[in-house]
Every structure is written in C-alpha cells, then in structure tokens.
Amino acid sequence: MNPFLLSLPRLFFGLVTLVAVGWQLSIHVRMGFDVVNFFSYFTNLSNLFAAFVLLLTGVHFLSGRASSASMDRLRAVSTVNMAVVGIVFALLLRNVDLGALLPWINTWLHYVMPCAVVLDWLLQPPRTRLGGRQLLAIQIFPIAYLVYVLARGSAAGWYPYPFLNPANVGGYGGVAVYAAGIALTFFVGGWVLLALGNKLKRSNDG
C-alpha cells in the first residue's frame, strides 16, 4: 500500500492516542493519584511510544521521504509491544477492575490501537529484512520494564498489574511463571510479526 495514503490514518491514530492518554492522566491527577504510577503501566508507555512512531512515520511519508532501516526497527518494536498489550489484556486483565479508566479510553488503548498498529505493519511491511538481532533487541524494553516494576514495587509496595504482585500470585515464583509466559509471548509474537513483515516485503519486491 502506498505509504503516503497511510500517513493521514497514522496521524489520526497517533493524535487520538495522545489525547486519550493525556485525558486519563488529567483524571488521575485530579483524583490525587501518583503520576509515576500512571507512567508505570506498560499499556500507557507502549501506547505513547506507538503514537510517537505513528506520528513520526506519518510526517515522514507526507514529506515524500522513503522508509529507513532505523524507522523499520522502531516500527517493529512498537508493533510487537502493542500486539502483546492486546493479547495480555484479553487474556489476563479483561475482567479486572480498571478503576478510574474511562471505557472509551480502555477500548482505544487495549483494543483499537493494538489492531491499528499491527494492521499498519502488515499494510506497509519493512523495506529492510529484520532478523534475529532485531528480535532480540525487541526483548530489551520488556525485560527492563519488568526489572523496574519489581524493584519499584518492592520499595513502594505498589504494582501496576496484579500478576506482577508477589502477594497475589504466591510469591516471586508465581511472578516468574507469569513473566516467563509474557516473555514467550513477546518472543513468539515478535518472531511471527517479523516473519510476516519479511514475507510481505519479498512479495512486494517480487
């Protein structure tokens, strides 16, 4: 698909996501919630990153420039993160009390954006072939995030997700089981999305 034609949807989804996250943040601030806690949710971080990548690529292609290897790598990280956001929410958090999270923002961040970002990846596959090195690089952010959550949770007594709280899952052994499952989702999901991207690239080149 012509990258230029995808630019306007990218700008739209990126801007709406910024509005959604900002709106929810304003609600949390008015209710006296910790701002650091708000930005400790993987969903919020991943959506903000996805919005940044969509806006960057949207402006980039509107200006008539071609894709680059660095942009392909950014899109790969964003796509895998958002795919996992959608999968984990559907499997583990769909029936969890979301507190002050507005329903339309919940739908946008957990359903609409994961689908939109994955579809964007498939409609415009990477121009460069992405392999094992990129797949490993994709794992860096979730690993760093897990270390941060456990370290801060141990110090502050607050965890963004119930399955990362040792008190809810029978200790750190339970957390390790959930973490291993999510890590596997990142690895398999990343492999599938990169493989699809490479296959679609070859089809377009052929």
Instruction: Give the tokens for residue 133.
Output: 């090195």
- What angle is formed at CA 112 by the lines to CA 111 and CA 115, rounded to 5 degrees? 85
Checking if the pLDDT of 190 tops 90, the result is yes
For position 1, what pLDDT does the model report? 61
pLDDT for position 195: 96
> Where are the domains positioned within the chain?
3-205
pLDDT tier, 61 (very low <50, low <70, confident <90, very high otherwise):
confident
Asked whether the predicted pLDDT for residue 127 surpasses 60, the reply is yes
N-terminal to C-terminal alpha carbon distance within the chain: 15
Average pLDDT of every residue of the chain: 93
pTM: 0.94
Please report the pLDDT score of residue 134 as a whole number.
95
| Average pLDDT for 64-75 | 87
Dihedral (Cα; 19, 111, 126, 40), 10-degree rounding: 60
